[in-house]
Each structure stands twice: as structure tokens, then as C-alpha cells.
Structure 1
């Protein structure tokens, strides 16, 4: 990494989380995948990036350097957009109707594994002008996680997009329900718990368990956790399943839980079905999911101006999230017969952990490690937290209406996180009344097609069981 001594040209310091995510222990990337409804005309790519994307935040025009004291800073540079735009060429198909799903999958696996050059801003745009089963073309935005979290980057994306049906109208989100915030839940918890003693006990218990899982206790080796030799970026194969949001809402209404509870139950049950298919005994092993939560106490996305404005801390740009250690329920005969138990257990476990102050203490612990031993020590702790678990689950809410850019309607949208030292990474994205569950699996270890089939079976079995409940 470049060293720099002229303080006047430095834009701003890199946040603590940004430093953790660009350390020798961790290097994490976000891949945003846009599926085009019509063939892609990339003639407007450079002016769109120049006029819409780069002005969003100075970080998109900055490189990460170290100052004379060794601290990481963002330094603004001249951006050569042509260096950031990649248009791959695939071998000719066997017919005019040939679909390039396999080529696109291999290409995405390759770019997920590659590090971005440090001498230019930490993002790339990949324009794949080949048809697939789902789209006429695919655009992949690859950004380093140090630039911001999913909330920040989704807000940036929406500022570049227009509604396909009416460009003068704003986007709306699928629910008016206030997003779950850890800090908001803490305030609610203070009102709900019968006494401060109960809150303190729950906090100590959850924090103690989190501390053990992040340092001493590893999940068992299973069909979704290889325990392979640690490498910074594992070879990943990316796939996804699509669910109707109405289908999830139907289960939600029947069970009286949240949409997130239903989705967690679907994922947990699907994981156990896959583990049972590979090794019957593994369906009862100790496995933990790290569920990432946005810690902003706000409703919906804010404008880019509001997020970048430093005085607006409630919606500030950056990485503002925390994680919950949630045990993946074991698969017993009774739970296989009634898979709704996975949804109820997900509801119970996540509510129990969100209604404590353990996430605050975890944040304080990372900050203390950073101050006493430096960013690398805090990053190593975060790396071990990820490595000791079996999977990470994160979600982003997208708009109800169809997005369009440069008059190209966006048919589908999902994202993936690359660089985590796990064999399985799961993301959830809502868009246009559908939910996309994407999964990145370790290549040559997890059977992508079988895992996808197990998730689809989980969805159908849980929906069918919910429909049997009398109104």
C-alpha cells in the first residue's frame, strides 16, 4: 500500500471497520448483480459513471494509502474509468439461441476470487453482454466492502436508477414496517423485560457465548463447513433461488412471525436437508449462523446527500452493522414432519439475541482491541469469528418497482459477499415482489445443485405446512 506524507491532499481517515476489512486477515468484497431485460447497450457507460456514480461519494474516486504515521486514509485521485470497466468475451455458442449460464457462472466465480488493484479506486464494473436463462445481459458491480455496507451501496444504486414505469416518481419499499435496528430493539427491550436483572443476565449469557464462539469454540466439520486450510479468498460458486414475497407473507401471517423469521427458518431447514442428504449424522451437528443486522435506527433508505452528511449519524454512510450468533436447529424426525418448528425456533433465537445488549459489548470489545493492539488484532478477531461459524446471512431490501438505467429495465437483482473464510455465504434481496436467496458455496466442496434443490424443497415444505393451519 502506498505511503503518503502530504496531509492536505488526504480526503478522510478510513473507518475502523474499513480497516478491519482491508487487513492481512480479511479482504471482503460485495458483488451486486443486475439482470437486464433487454440486450445491453454499453455506449453510455462512461458518462453514466462520470456523471452519476463518481459524484455519489468521494470514496469512489479515492485510493487507500497510509499517512506518515502508518494510518490508513482515503486519498482522492483522478479516475481512469476505462480501467474499471470490464467487458468479457466468451466462446461462440453452438446456436443463435445459446444461453451462457455456465460461462457467466464461471466468470463470476473468477472475479469473486480476484483482489482489486490497490493503486486505483476499489471498484469495478463488469458488463456481460451474453444472454442467460434469466436475462438478456448481466451487469456485475464489484466493490470493496471498505467503501460501505449494503445499506450505503443500495442507497447509492437507487440514486443512479430511475423507475421504469415513471421516472418522475420515487421508489417505494415493500413494507412500511420500520427496519429492525439493534439499537432500536435495545430501547424496546428495556421496556419489555420484567427487570434490569433479566436484561443483564441475558446480555452476559449472549456476550459470553459470542466471545467463546469468536475465540475458542468452533462449529463442527460438516457438509457445509470444510475446515479447509485458511485462504483469504476461497474459490466460490454462486447461484440463487427465487421466491414470491407473497408466499413468504402467507407463511408470516399464518405463524404470526416476521418475514425475516420465515426466511431464516427456510434457510436453516434447507441447510439441514442438504446436510442430511450428504451425511445423515451431520443433520444433528453443532452449526451456527452469523446473522448480520443494520444498526442504523432509521426507516427506509435516505438520500445520498443525507448519508454522506457527517452530522446525520442516524443514516450515515459507511459500515454500520453487527452480527448475531444464531444456532441452526438440529433436524429431528419431529421437525422433518413439521418444518414450521424451524421458523418458530428462528423467531425465538433471533428475538432473544436482539433483545440484549450483547451486540453493544461486542462492538466495544472490537474497539478496545483496536485501541490496545491495533487494527490487525481486531481484524483477526473478526476473521476468527467468521471462520468458527458455518455460514453468514445478510439481507437488503430493494424497491417494489422495476428499476431502469440508461433505458435498460432491470429484470432481476441480487448480491453476494466474497472473501469470508467460510464455505457457505447466504444473502437475501427483495425486488419487484420477489425475494432472491443467493448463495456462494466453496467450489468442489458443496454441491451447488443439490443445495439449491434443498432450499427449494424447504420453501415448499414450509409453505405447505403453513397452509394446513386453520385460519
Structure 2
């Protein structure tokens, strides 16, 4: 939170362990260790997700959908508060949807498509430098009904990481949508089915067991090597210096020059690489990201 040009860290709200003085009242649920970890001073992380739309968004319809679907999840309608003993708990609250769905007024009257692209990019970058007020559930949605080269409208979802991990949030997002072919059905993910032959001779079974044993040995060997390298790095080895090396005493609130750069890639191309390399989509995306980052570092700091 910013006040007078200075950033102010808000402390968690304190409550008693019970929701009221009634001894029969059920205690507020404790945050899991994973959720609590994301509130540590040096590990306060938010998730920012960007979604483009083919048509401008109807704000009232969007709010109605959020009220009927998203707020059914208790974590999106609960505060994270600290009790007398210092433990953080989920406490249900009444959600004011207008505090969470934000529609900024952007001046785009004299801008071209390229300018609106930069405008949206700048808005997202600025959004990543602020935090969510802890006096309300830790999520918000920003709607930019401006046309860019990628979409007719852009929505930015911002969640505090204590609400859940990527898989949980993606599952929740999918549950808010329906199939175009059947508006009453939830979307489904395709599952590849492999035909398994029941007629296997002894030689093929033995060969499969040998391959599995070899893979297990490789897994154990690589695990031991990784553990030894981790211990050696913690004791005496040093990480190689790079532009991403964090200096001692680094101020995590310093975000000058921070930008979000995104590119559109074809899912068909990713699937082609996935099938050619017999890998997963996550492997392909991670490889693309790592290769792009490596090329950028070598080009900019190669000398």
C-alpha cells in the first residue's frame, strides 16, 4: 500500500481465536503451513494472470458470474486474520464485489493499437508493484475494455499465493466456465488413451522390468548427486554471478523498471514439439522460456 509516496506494510488484523464468545462456536480454520509461508516478509508473493477476450466484457454480467461461482469457494470470501496466539486463520466475511472487480478509466482516444498494447503492458507492470489490502479477501480482477493487437478486451487476475497454487487456481477457473456445445457441462480436458496389449510374452516383460530398473537406478543416482551439490553449495560453493544475482541487502520493494513482456505462441507448435520429443507441455514451455532467457543473457551480457 502506498501513502504519500511511501510504501506501508499492513499488519494482519488481530482477532480472538473464537468467532464470538460462545464456547460452542466453531473455531476459524487455521491457514496451512504453505499458505502461512507466503505471508513471510521476504516471501510475500502474488499471482498475476492475464486473459484476452474476443469481445468487450460486460461488467455487470461478469460480476454476477463471480457472485454465483467464484465466491462459493470459501477462500475467496474469507479474510486472513491473526488471532491472539499469532496464528493466522480463515474468517468468513461478506464480499463487496465492487471492491474486487476494478475497471480503470484509460485515456485511449488518440492511441493506435500499438499504443494500447504498451498501455496495457504498463498497467500490468504497475499492478505488479502494488499489493492487495488485507482488510478484504486477497484477490481482485482488473478489466481493461480496450482493443489491442491481441484481443478486444483484457482481464488481469491477481491473487495472493496463500489462496492456492497454480493447479488449484486453474481448476477453480475452469469450474467457472461451461462448454459451448453444452452450456450445462463443465469443460473437460482430453485424456490420451494408450492401447495396452494383453498378450505379452515373457521376453518383453523381462525387457520392461530391466528398463524400469535402469530408470530407477538413474533416478537414485541423480538424486544423490543433486543432494551432494546442494550441500556443497550451502557449505562452500558459490553460485555463478549473473544479472539476476540478488545482492546482499537487496530491497524487495524496489521495483523501478519492472516490466511484463509477453508473446503469443501457437499451441499447435507446442504440441508438435511435445510429440516429437516425447515430453509434456510443461517441459516444452519450460524449455522455451529457459532457451529465450539464456539467449537474452548471452546477447546482452555475453562479454
TM-score normalised by the chain length of structure 2: 0.77
1:249 to 1:98, Cα distance in 2 relative to 1, 3 A = closer
Query: For the aligned residues, what is the CA RMSD?
Result: 3.2
> 2:55 corresponds to which residue?
38
TM-superposed CA distance for 1:177, in Å, is 7.5
> 1:339 corresponds to which residue?
none
Correspondence 1:249 to 2:271: yes
1:94 to 1:279, Cα distance in 2 relative to 1, 3 A = same
Contact 1:221 1:227 in 2 (8 A): no
- Give me the whole-angstrom Cα distance separating, in 1, the residues matched to 2:71 and 2:225: 45
> 2:229 corresponds to which residue?
209
1:118 pairs with 134, 137, 145, which one?
A: 134
1:246 to 1:135, Cα distance in 2 relative to 1, 3 A = closer
Bigger Rg over Cα: 2
> 1:74 corresponds to which residue?
90
Correspondence 1:13 to 2:30: yes
1:101 pairs with 101, 107, 117, which one?
A: 117
Tell me, what secondary structure is at the counterpart of 1:241? coil
The structure showing larger relative contact order (alpha-carbon pairs under 8 Å, at least 6 residues apart) is 1
> 1:153 corresponds to which residue?
169
- Give me the whole-angstrom Cα distance separating, in 2, the residues matched to 1:195 and 1:141: 41
Contact 1:122 1:143 in 2 (8 A): yes
Tell me, what secondary structure is at the counterpart of 1:92? coil
- Give me the whole-angstrom Cα distance separating, in 1, the residues matched to 2:133 and 2:235: 32
- Within-5 A mapping of 1:23-422: 23-55=40-72, 57-94=73-110, 100-173=116-189, 175-176=191-192, 192-194=212-214, 200-211=220-231, 219-225=239-245, 227=247, 230-233=250-253, 235=255, 236-281=258-303
- Give me the whole-angstrom Cα distance separating, in 2, the residues matched to 1:159 and 1:85: 19
TM-superposed CA distance for 1:268, in Å, is 2.7
1:170 to 1:77, Cα distance in 2 relative to 1, 3 A = closer
| Residue ranges of structure 1 left out of the alignment (5+ in a row) | 179-188, 282-471
- Give me the whole-angstrom Cα distance separating, in 2, the residues matched to 1:50 and 1:257: 39
- Give me the whole-angstrom Cα distance separating, in 2, the residues matched to 1:93 and 1:122: 33
1:95 to 1:150, Cα distance in 2 relative to 1, 3 A = closer
> 1:364 corresponds to which residue?
none
Higher normalized strand content (fraction of residues): 1
1:252 to 1:138, Cα distance in 2 relative to 1, 3 A = closer
1:10 to 1:91, Cα distance in 2 relative to 1, 3 A = farther
- Give me the whole-angstrom Cα distance separating, in 2, the residues matched to 1:280 and 1:245: 31
| Residue ranges of structure 2 left out of the alignment (5+ in a row) | 1-11, 19-24, 195-208
Tell me, what secondary structure is at the counterpart of 1:114? coil
TM-superposed CA distance for 1:270, in Å, is 1.9
